[in-house]
């Protein structure tokens, strides 16, 4: 053998040895890179407290995914970007995440405007988008064939509350107090529909301009309607104020107050016992750990990291990467078309009762839980705001796809 040939051979053998046994970064650089799981949420600004829970829940899910072999044999890396609760920033950060960071999965949002921004981007690029907050992409105007979400739709949440009230509350006068913007407006058709179905008198809506931090000026109008059931659709600091003011103005005693949807952070901000005598709907609540072992396990991990119980937004943030990992490993591909086919009609169960992703509109057919607020003395710990009264579910909580124009 000539000397040059020997040297070349030795060099090649040495390089191969270095790659297989050398430092991690060399091996990964030359072998497979981790899968990038993108999450875009408002870590600062409005709803940051919910985004904090989404972040931790996602981290827990990714740890579990990596512990069980990752996705397609590759580890998963979280790529977290702060939308700053601003539409322009959300768009810019999403484009950066897609083009510069080259995320493999595009998920996130904590609010409607982020959801619309991301769905629009996904549509223009022909990619999959998985939404975390309330799913508002299930109508003809906003539907995108590769958009999914495990959270409830506004209509579904309203219908769950109306169905529960129809079966459990005497009296036929229903009224709604809501913030005047697009998200609460999506709830009204459900209340109107179920009022007809249950032969109730829906006396209409008292709209409070958005944002409103003081509902005291609207409560007299609500009182004038003399409702047997008062539904409310509010969020964030507005809801915190409303919780306080429902007690202050005696509404909690005068009528059945049902917060269409609420979450732990708002209850905590309003104070211990703040929901006493009132009801709230939630897609998930930490106390479901009494029924579902997976919730108990999740709560344990979440508490270890944060010293608090997760908001319901944490539930979808945990379940989404788990579902995507499961589906990707099953179809052995990250191709949106293949993932879509596997997701549509799929039955999933992680932290709560089973959920089915409806093929025609990608709405998640699932249960909504109704909570009764506890008094301060009945709370066993600082997160124990509610007892789970009942779960309400079923396909009848959603409008038919034909009605939505989605075939």
Partner 1 sequence: MIEAFVQWFGDVAAIPGLIWLQQSYLGLVNGSVLVLMALGLTIIFGLLGITNFAHGAFYMLGAYVGWSLLRLIGNFWVAMAVVPLVGAMMGLVVERFLLAPTYRKKDADFLGILITFGLGLAAPDLVRWIYGNLGLPYVKPLPDPMFTIGNIPFSQYRFFLIVVAMTLCFCFWWLLQKTNLGMIIRAGTSDSPMVEILGIDVRRVWTLTFSIGVAIASFAGVLVGPILAVQPIMGVEILVQCFIVVIIGGLGSFWGAVVAGFGVGQILTLFPLLPHCSRLGDVVIFALAAMVLLTRPQGLFGQD
- Torsional sign, CA 398, 403, 405, 407: positive
- Shortest Å, Cβ 263 to partner 1: 11
Nearest to 347, CA basis, from 339, 355, 358: 355
Per-residue binding letters, 175-204, with partner 1 (x by CB under 8 A): -----x------------------------
State how far the Cα of 351 lies from the Cα of 207, in Å rounded to an integer. Answer: 35
Among residues 268, 348, 364, 397, the one that binds partner 1 under rule CB under 8 A: 268
**By CB under 8 A, what part of segment 59-78 binds partner 1?**
none
Instruction: Considering only the stretches 165-173, 265-273, 337-345, 354-362, report the one whose residues sit in contact with partner 1 under the rule CB under 8 A.
Output: 265-273
User: Does residue number 379 form part of the binding site for partner 1 (CB under 8 A)?
Assistant: no
- Shortest Å, Cβ 152 to partner 1: 23
Site size for partner 1 (CB under 8 A): 37
Report CA-CA distances (Å) from 332 to 282, 314, 325, 347: 34, 27, 10, 19
Q: What is the per-residue burial (b if ≥16 Cβ within 10 Å, else e) of 172-201?
A: bbbbbbbbeeebbebbbebbbbbbeeeebe
Residues 6+ apart with CB under 8 A from 313: 50, 51, 53, 54, 57, 110, 132, 133, 263
- Shortest Å, Cβ 82 to partner 1: 13
- Specify the residue, 270 or 324, whose C-beta has the smaller distance to partner 1: 270
What DSSP string runs through 225-264? H--SEEEEE--HHHHHHHHHHHHHTTHHHHSEEEESS--H
User: Does residue number 48 form part of the binding site for partner 1 (CB under 8 A)?
Assistant: yes
What phi and psi, each to the nearest 5 degrees, are found at residue 258?
A: -120, 110
- Specify the residue, 248 or 290, whose C-beta has the smaller distance to partner 1: 248
Contact 41, 132 (CB under 8 A): yes
Contact 187, 176 (CB under 8 A): yes
Instruction: Mark residue 179 as left, alpha or beta (left: phi above 0; alpha: psi -120 to 50; beta: remaining).
Output: beta
Among residues 9, 167, 182, 216, the one that binds partner 1 under rule CB under 8 A: 216
- Shortest Å, Cβ 177 to partner 1: 12
User: Does residue number 136 form part of the binding site for partner 1 (CB under 8 A)?
Assistant: no
**By CB under 8 A, what part of segment 219-248 binds partner 1?**
220-221, 223-224, 237-238, 240-241, 244-245, 247-248
- Specify the residue, 250 or 345, whose C-beta has the smaller distance to partner 1: 250
- Specify the residue, 237 or 333, whose C-beta has the smaller distance to partner 1: 237
- Shortest Å, Cβ 240 to partner 1: 4
Report CA-CA distances (Å) from 362 to 137, 152, 201, 244, 402: 8, 11, 32, 36, 14
Among residues 121, 229, 272, 406, the one that binds partner 1 under rule CB under 8 A: 272
- Shortest Å, Cβ 247 to partner 1: 6
User: Does residue number 86 form part of the binding site for partner 1 (CB under 8 A)?
Assistant: no
Among residues 78, 101, 112, 207, the one that binds partner 1 under rule CB under 8 A: 207
State how far the Cα of 261 lies from the Cα of 271, in Å rounded to an integer. Answer: 17
- Shortest Å, Cβ 352 to partner 1: 24
State how far the Cα of 333 lies from the Cα of 355, in Å rounded to an integer. Answer: 23
User: Does residue number 375 form part of the binding site for partner 1 (CB under 8 A)?
Assistant: no
Instruction: Mark residue 171 as left, alpha or beta (left: phi above 0; alpha: psi -120 to 50; beta: remaining).
Output: left
- Shortest Å, Cβ 249 to partner 1: 6
Q: What are the residues binding partner 1 (CB under 8 A)? A: 44-46, 48-49, 180, 207-209, 213-214, 216-218, 220-221, 223-224, 237-238, 240-241, 244-245, 247-250, 254, 265-266, 268-272, 274
């Amino acid at each position: 053998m000539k000397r040059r040939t020997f040297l070349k051979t030795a060099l090649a053998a040495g390089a191969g040895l270095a790659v297989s046994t050398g430092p991690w970064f060399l091996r990964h650089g030359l072998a497979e890179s981790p899968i990038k799981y993108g999450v875009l949420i408002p870590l600062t600004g409005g709803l940051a407290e919910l985004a904090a829970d989404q972040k931790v829940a996602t981290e827990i899910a990714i740890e579990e995914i990596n512990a069980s072999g990752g996705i397609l044999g590759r580890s998963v890396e979280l790529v977290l970007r702060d939308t700053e609760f601003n539409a322009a920033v959300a768009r810019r950060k999403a484009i950066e995440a897609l083009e510069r960071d080259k995320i493999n999965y595009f998920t996130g949002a904590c609010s409607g405007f982020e959801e619309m921004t991301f769905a629009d981007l996904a549509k223009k690029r022909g990619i999959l988008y998985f939404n975390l907050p309330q799913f508002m992409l299930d109508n003809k105007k906003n539907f995108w064939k590769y958009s999914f979400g495990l959270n409830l739709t506004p209509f579904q949440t309203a219908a769950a509350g109306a169905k529960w009230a129809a079966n459990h509350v005497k009296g036929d006068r229903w009224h709604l107090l809501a913030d005047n913007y697009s998200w609460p407006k999506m709830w009204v058709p459900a209340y109107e529909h179920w009022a007809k179905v249950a032969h109730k008198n829906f006396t209409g809506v008292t709209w409070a301009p958005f944002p409103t931090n003081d509902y005291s000026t609207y409560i007299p109008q609500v009182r004038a309607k003399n409702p047997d059931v008062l539904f409310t659709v509010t969020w964030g600091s507005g809801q915190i104020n409303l919780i306080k003011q429902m007690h202050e103005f005696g509404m909690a005693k005068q009528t059945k107050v049902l917060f269409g949807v609420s979450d732990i952070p708002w209850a905590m901000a309003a104070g211990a016992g703040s929901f006493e005598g009132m009801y709230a709907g939630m897609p998930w609540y930490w106390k479901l750990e009494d029924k579902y072992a997976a919730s108990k396990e999740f709560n344990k991990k979440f508490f270890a990291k944060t010293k608090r119980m997760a908001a319901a937004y944490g539930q979808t943030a945990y379940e989404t990467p788990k579902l995507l990992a499961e589906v990707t490993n099953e179809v052995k591909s990250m191709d949106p078309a293949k993932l879509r086919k596997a997701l549509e009609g799929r039955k999933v169960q992680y932290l709560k009762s089973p959920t089915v992703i409806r093929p025609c509109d990608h709405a998640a057919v699932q249960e909504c839980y109704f909570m009764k607020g506890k008094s301060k003395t009945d709370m066993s710990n600082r997160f124990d705001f509610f007892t789970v009264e009942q779960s309400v579910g079923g396909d009848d909580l959603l409008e038919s796809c034909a009605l939505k124009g989605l075939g």
